[in-house]
């Protein structure tokens, strides 16, 4: 089985690709439109330079060769959501070609090409006979990333897409939600001929659509049938793919060079653009450079690239051991809380520095980090932990049998741990409670 993907990413420009209409969420359908993005007679497209910059960034991220010169083509097809009957896209000389992406840092998925093009509008079906069309999306810039059919299973396609999207989000600072989306055309062949499932959104749906297609094609071939080359769509509710049309070939689109736009020389621009390290590459590098295992490195980067950067800063200055002990420990545990209150990780490194210099103890360091992450004062955290000791103390006073049982089997502590967790209503982490209960029991033995 062979699977290849065509991934469409809406680029985070402020205005559309060839006009100055905004790309933000519109208050109502057909409000962010103008003669250019509607393709009215006499209108002329003007290219948004940012589109080329984002295209180059992605091309570099994917290890593609960036073209020295590039231009645009008109792809002719009639569809109601494309009011011009032509889409401005790239056919010859796309921005980038011949890249490779390493899935899990290992398996190469070759990237055929990456080009930029304009998004069509949106069609919304109303009943069986009519549709409404919204052109707000028309002219929003897209990057299309095309892979070779190097993906082996639907689950692998999902994994690949997940990692790729994480990298793209970081490298071009794509917002995590909102209208801007990532859509995927999935090509899959079990036998000789392939089918394309158009416009699938979401990782889970990509896997579902491909799994359905895999089973459908396998059944046909087993029954001695033949797969037709065709375009299908995925019905999310029913979880099935449906034939839309027999697949057209590239020649059917009658591409011509876009006469309203010129040739763009990219070399200087491409040389000047430096891209951020992608999260997947960063995880691999951290594991390799600091000798931590890949899972731990991945965990840091997935929690936040900022956390991974803090890890690296501490590892460089104060040694890997301290980075593992403090950054992978309490800093990581408090990271989400810190982000949620709009805090910064800058305060953490000086605390660890003082610990390494012997100015504060282990316990003080842990406490100060916790305060830095949550924004609470040391007194309130201390007060809370005093509270914790009190709850545990009282419970053990009333249940002295636990101490004797614990000497035989440490699991006896679970009764006290369970009680305290319930009693404190989640104010303390389970690690804290386990630690405090053990300490108290052991002090009584």
Which residues are near Zn ion by CB under 5 A?
A: 19, 21, 34, 36-37
Sign of CA dihedral 58, 62, 67, 72: negative
- 3-state SS class at 367: helix
Q: By C-beta, is 48 or 278 nearer to Zn ion?
A: 48
Place of tokens 């057209």: 248
Residue with Cβ nearer Zn ion (84 or 170): 84
Residue 93 CA to its chain's centroid (Å): 28
Minimum gap (Å) between residue 10 Cβ and Zn ion: 15
Helix (H, G, I), strand (E, B) or coil at 444: helix
Q: Do 46 and 19 form a contact (C-beta atoms < 8 A)?
A: yes
The least distance separating Zn ion from the CB of residue 121, rounded to whole angstroms, comes to: 11
DSSP 371-418: HHHH---HHHHHHHHHHHHHHHHHHHHH-THHHHHHHH-GGGHHHHHH
Query: Smallest gap, in angstroms, from Cβ of residue 426 to Zn ion?
Result: 51
Min dist. Cβ of residue 131 to Zn ion (A): 21
Alpha carbon distance 52, 210 (integer Å):
32
* Residues with Cβ within 8 Å of residue 399, at least 6 apart in sequence: 415, 416
Closest CB to Zn ion among 17 and 197? 17
Q: Least distance from C-beta 71 to Zn ion, angstroms? A: 21
Between 19 and 184, name the residue whose CB sits nearer to Zn ion.
Answer: 19
Find, among 47, 142, 44, 127, the residue nearest to 84 by Cα: 44
**For residues 412 and 402, is the Cβ–Cβ distance under 8 A?**
yes
Report the nearest approach of Zn ion to the CB of residue 36 (Å): 5
The closest of 154, 164, 159, 137 to 24, measured between CA atoms, is 137
Tokens representing residue 71 in the block: 């231009």
For Zn ion, the closer CB: 96 or 141 = 141
Give Cα separations from 192 to 21, 89, 134, 221 (angstroms).
44, 29, 38, 10
Min dist CB 144 to Zn ion, Å, is 21
Q: Which is closer to Zn ion, CB of 134 or CB of 440?
A: 134
Residue count (the chain)? 445
Cβ proximity to Zn ion: between 99 and 139 the closer is 139
* Shortest separation between residue 178's beta carbon and Zn ion, angstroms: 19
If the CB atoms of residues 34 and 337 are measured against Zn ion, the closer one turns out to be 34
Q: Which helix (H) or strand (E) holds 241?
A: strand 240-246
Q: Are 58 and 143 contacting, i.e. CB atoms less than 8 angstroms apart?
A: yes
Nearest distance in Å: CB 225, Zn ion: 47
Q: Which is nearer to Zn ion, 83 or 303 (CB)?
A: 83
In angstroms, give the least distance from the CB of 135 to Zn ion. 9
**Under DSSP, is residue 313 helix (H, G, I), strand (E, B) or coil?**
helix
Cα(231)–Cα(81) distance, rounded to whole angstroms?
A: 18
Q: Please, which residue, 89 or 138, has the CB nearer to Zn ion?
A: 138
Count of CA atoms in the C-beta half-sphere (13 A) of 445: 15
Residues 353 and 316 sit within 8 Å (Cβ to Cβ)? no
């Amino acid at each position: 089985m062979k699977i290849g993907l065509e991934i469409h990413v809406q680029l985070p420009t402020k205005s559309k690709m060839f006009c100055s209409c905004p790309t933000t969420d519109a208050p109502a359908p057909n409000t962010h439109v103008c003669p250019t993005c509607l393709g009215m007679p006499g209108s002329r497209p003007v290219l948004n330079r940012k589109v080329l910059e984002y295209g180059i960034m992605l091309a570099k991220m994917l290890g593609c060769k960036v073209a020295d010169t590039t231009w645009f083509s008109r792809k002719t097809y009639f569809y109601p959501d494309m009011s011009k009957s032509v889409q401005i896209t790239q056919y010859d000389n796309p921005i980038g070609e011949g890249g490779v992406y390493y899935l899990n840092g290992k398996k190469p998925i070759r990237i055929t090409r990456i080009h930029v093009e304009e998004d069509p509008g949106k069609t919304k079906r109303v009943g069986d006979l009519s549709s409404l069309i919204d052109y707000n999306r028309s002219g929003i810039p897209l990057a299309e990333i095309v892979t070779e059919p190097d993906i082996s299973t639907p689950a692998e396609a999902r994994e690949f897409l997940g990692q790729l999207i994480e990298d793209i989000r970081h490298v071009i600072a794509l917002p995590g939600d909102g209208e801007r989306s990532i859509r995927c055309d999935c090509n899959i062949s079990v036998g000789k001929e392939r089918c394309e499932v158009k416009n699938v959104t979401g990782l889970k749906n990509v896997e579902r659509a491909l799994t359905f297609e895999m089973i459908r094609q396998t059944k046909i071939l087993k029954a001695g049938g033949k797969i037709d080359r065709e375009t299908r769509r995925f019905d999310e509710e029913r979880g099935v793919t449906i034939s839309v049309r027999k697949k057209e070939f590239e020649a059917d689109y009658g591409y011509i060079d876009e006469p309203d736009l010129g040739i763009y020389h990219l070399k200087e621009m491409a040389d000047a653009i430096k891209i951020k390290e992608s999260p997947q590459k960063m995880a691999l590098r951290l594991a390799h450079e600091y000798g931590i295992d890949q899972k731990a490195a991945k965990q840091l980067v997935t929690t936040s690239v900022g956390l991974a950067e803090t890890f690296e800063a501490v590892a460089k200055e104060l040694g890997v051991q301290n980075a593992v002990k403090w950054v992978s420990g309490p800093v990581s545990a408090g990271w989400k809380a810190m982000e949620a209150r709009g805090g910064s990780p800058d305060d953490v490194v000086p605390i660890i520095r003082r610990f390494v210099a012997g100015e504060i103890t282990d316990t003080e360091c842990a406490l100060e980090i916790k305060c830095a992450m949550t924004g609470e004062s040391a007194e309130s955290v201390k007060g809370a932990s005093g509270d914790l000791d009190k709850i545990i103390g009282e419970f053990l006073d009333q249940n002295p049998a636990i101490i004797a049982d614990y000497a035989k089997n440490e699991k006896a502590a679970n009764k006290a741990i369970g009680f305290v967790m319930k009693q404190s209503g989640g104010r303390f982490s389970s690690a804290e409670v386990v630690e405090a209960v053990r300490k108290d029991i052991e002090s009584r033995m």
